[in-house]
Structures are given as C-alpha cells and as structure tokens.
Amino acid sequence: MQVNINKEIIPLEEARISPLDRGYLYGDGIFETMRSYGSKVFKLNEHLDRLYSSAQAILMEIPWRQEELAIEIKRTLEANDLSESDAYIRISLSRGEAGIGINPADAKEPTLMIITKPLSPPDPKLYEKGWEVVTVPTRRSQIETVNPRIKSCNFLNSILAKAEAKMVGADDGIMLNQKGFVTEGTVSNLFLVKDGILKTPPKSAGILAGITRKLVIELGLELELKVKEENLTRHDFYTADEAFATVTSVEIIPIVKMDNRLIGDGKPGPITREIFDNFPRPR
C-alpha cells in the first residue's frame, strides 16, 4: 500500500508522523471517508466541502485548495492501481506538529494523510437479512460540546458505542442524545418508514450531516415519497414498518431489529428496496 503524507506518496512501511503531532496526541483533527465507483469518486466535492466546513469549525486553516486535495486523492488512487476500481478513500488533516500542550496556536502546519484501499462489495446477505441493532448506554456528544456535525478524528464516542453493541452481539449501536431522541449509528445515519412516510432525525438532534443521508432525502422526493426530518424516539423505530441506515461505503443497510424487537415483519421492506434499487451509483 502507498500512502500520501503531505503530498508525498510513500510505502506504508515508510510512512511516519511526528510523535508530537496533535492528531496523535489529542485527536485534534478532521477527516472524510469516501468511496469511488470505478474511476469516479462519489460526491467528491460534497465531501471536500464538508472537510473544509469541519476545519473552519475547529479553527484550522487548510493551506491547500480543494482542487489540490482532489488531485492528491487521484494521485494516491493511481499509486495503488485503484484509478479504475472501486476503492475506499480516507483523507485526514491533523492540526500538525507542536510542543506538548493543548494551545492550538502552537501548531503551524497541518498534517495531511490520504489512505486508499480496494473496496470489496458487502456480502449480499447483508441486504437480504439486514442489521440487528441496539440502543447503547453511550450518548451522542452534545452539540454544545463537540458538535457531531464536525467529522472529528476524536472518534471515541462512536468507538465506545460500537464496543457496547458488539458486547451484546448486535451489528451496530444506536446512540440517543441527551433528551432521549434517536440520533445515528456509529458510522451511519438512520431512516424509518411509517405509513409510507420516510422519516429521519434532524441535524439539530446532534447528527453528522451525512452525504448519503442528503442523497436519500432527495431520492425519496424524486420517488414521490413524503419525507420528514423530525425528532424520533425508540418507540418510533419499534413501531416502524421499515428502517435502514445510510453509509457511504455500503450505501443502504436494512435494519430489521432494534433492541431485540422486530421492525415490521423483520425483513427489508419495499421502500428500502426501492431506494436501494434506485441509488444513483456512478459508472
């Protein structure tokens, strides 16, 4: 594997960052996860827009233009012989190297890192059987602390939620906010269907403004579905006709059970399938 560090492409075995890098010391950084379909990076501009928004939110100045980062992503894909293949792409920016201490002004230059690897399609059974999820004790970070709309390298909130889900044998953990409303999965946004209406938690609930989430909202409207963004409870999911998660790397994941309760008839529903079948995959 070849990785890109500060626009230099080198073998993974030779890749190094400083022990004083703030991303390593404090999780002081941001990232985006993307995927490509063949030669096309899915929603590249939207992902880079969100990266720059995250940087602005944490008072980090990115010294490169978006067009330059797009070129570096392409170079990294080419270096790994992935320019014509489905690929996973992660671009990370830490605040950079500084002395010990939390003052962000001590860091002068961000550290850029781009990683790419082949993206294998999920097991088809995932779409046939769906996920069984649980709500977990770990709550989503409050907007007033670290806003979940910042895609931060400090990912411990989601890591703990994932660990709690795996401890009870679930596929993923669903986090509630401090008011008890459903927010999102560990790396996914959530939707439910009730009486033909497509519903998803609003950004104000404390969620990441997902790129695929936005696409599914638009797709739902194109399919002439009624779409609502509103606060949702566990009861709403327990009594839903269908539910699914959205995540860039695997698109749509049906959710068939939450907290050991069947959702609908316990199988992926017709609207979930319609959205999956009409997902605009670039080719």
Q: Which residues are catalytic?
A: 151
The number of residues making up the chain comes to 283
How many Å is the maximal CA-CA distance in the chain?
57
Whether 249 contacts 165, CB under 8 Å: no
Gyration radius from the chain CA atoms: 19
Phi, then psi, of 237 in degrees rounded to 5? -75, -40
Whether 224 contacts 218, CB under 8 Å: no
Q: Across 67-218, where does the E strand assignment appear? A: 87-94, 111-118, 131-135, 172-176, 182-184, 189-194, 197-200
Distances (CA, A) of 14 to 1, 10, 211: 10, 7, 33
- DSSP reduced 3-state for 2: strand
Instruction: Report the chain's terminal Cα–Cα distance, integer Å.
Output: 25
